[in-house]
Structure 1
């Protein structure tokens, strides 16, 4: 048997949050707005604590390559985060207070997928 911390880490599943919807680039914000945004995400990351595996990143330029070799426009994904949780319900609960979901206008969503072992 391993240590309780090791056993818990083994039992935890990883989930990716994919952020979908409009996002204002940091370059379009005033320094004060940028600082507010960073503080809000910092507070959420602090709240997520050890469940936060990878704070993620916003997405930059994008492309879409299809299985027939053609290219298209990529979707409206704007970034990602990876968390560890016992199950999908716990991963969903971790989105509480996530600044990306603070507008309450239905234009933004966090799509959550479990990352399965290969």
Structure 2
């Protein structure tokens, strides 16, 4: 099985998305938990929302302009199977999902 990094992209930051009533937050969390239950053991790391990103370059660090709002890690037989795990994902209501294979490093 290969590992895949799942990036949740959105035009609205994770911080802004979490500015909601407790009832809205609970309802959204229930949708995420239902997805996690459907995916089962393929979900190896539920992940978390991300924010306050910094871009690091040889010249220094600056505020990031990334639209990544969170991540998860899944395992699947191939890229198509990993993408199929995203079917019905609640994040698709507010943004897009990018699925990237974690490649093995030769000699490690």
Same-fold call, TM cutoff 0.5: yes
Structure 2 unmatched runs, 5+: none
SS of residue paired to 1:100? helix
**2:17 maps to what in 1?**
25
TM-score (norm 1): 0.79
Query: Following the alignment from structure 1 to structure 2, what is the Cα–Cα distance between the partners of residues 73 and 89?
Result: 34
Instruction: Give the structure with the larger strand fraction.
Output: 2
1:114 aligns with 2:101: yes
Number of corresponding residues: 101
Root mean square deviation of aligned Cα:
1.3
Q: TM-score, normalised by structure 2?
A: 0.86
Moved over 6 A (4+): none
Q: How does 1:43-54 map to 2 (within 5 A)?
A: 43-54=34-45
- Tell me the CA shift for residue 102 of structure 1: 2.2
Q: Which secondary structure state, in structure 2, belongs to the residue aligned with residue 15 of structure 1? A: strand
What is residue 84 of structure 1 aligned with on the other side?
75
Radius of gyration: which is bigger?
1
> Can you give the 5+ residue segments of structure 1 that lack an aligned partner in the other structure?
1-11
